[in-house]
Amino acid sequence: MGDLPSPIDDGHCIACGPLSETGLKMQFVVESDESVSSRVVVPQLFQGWQGVTHGGIVALLLDEAMAYAAGARGVLGVTGEMKMRFRHPVPIGEPLTVRGAVLWQRRGVLSIEASVSDAAGKALASGVGSFVSRGSVAPGERFARLSPK
């Protein structure tokens, strides 16, 4: 990844940014097991096939949960690699739960898993990724929108 500078959160992230005009404005909480979760309803703006969330947006949901899982550990990271599995269509306009959890951390690399499930808890999509640290911060500093449950 070379000499990338530390990522800067300017509030315009399409997934979590409060200043993004068309974004999802996701808010994450830290669970008792140190995983993170967010409730979100994907609007029709992000539709692929009729009534179904576009696969790229599902990737965005998983990636964001992974980033916040790293942040809950105090790691400011960027995605190095991500593998996804689509189990069922992710519906538009219905409540979803997005979760992320760190599996392991070795030096500046974290392995993180994430999932998207419906209101009944049915797994719709999952992913695992590698995140590369671009610095460390106090969890409340970089992730001001990340709060304990």
109 found inside a domain: yes
Domain count, the chain: 1
Give a yes or no: residue 7 inside a domain: no
Q: Does 144 have pLDDT greater than 60?
A: no
- Percent of the chain past pLDDT 70, that is, above it, reads 87
Q: Tell me if 89 is assigned to some domain.
A: yes
Q: What is the pTM of this model?
A: 0.89
Is residue 131 assigned to a domain?
yes
What CATH number has the domain bearing residue 47?
3.10.129.10
With respect to residue 16, please indicate whether it lies within any of the assigned structural domains.
Answer: no
- In residues, how long is the chain? 149
Q: Is 54 within a domain? A: yes
- Note the pLDDT of residue 100: 98
23 falls within a domain: no
Strand order in the sheet with 109-118: 75-86, 123-136, 109-118, 95-106, 36-41, 29-30, 147-148
Say if residue 53's pLDDT is above 90.
yes
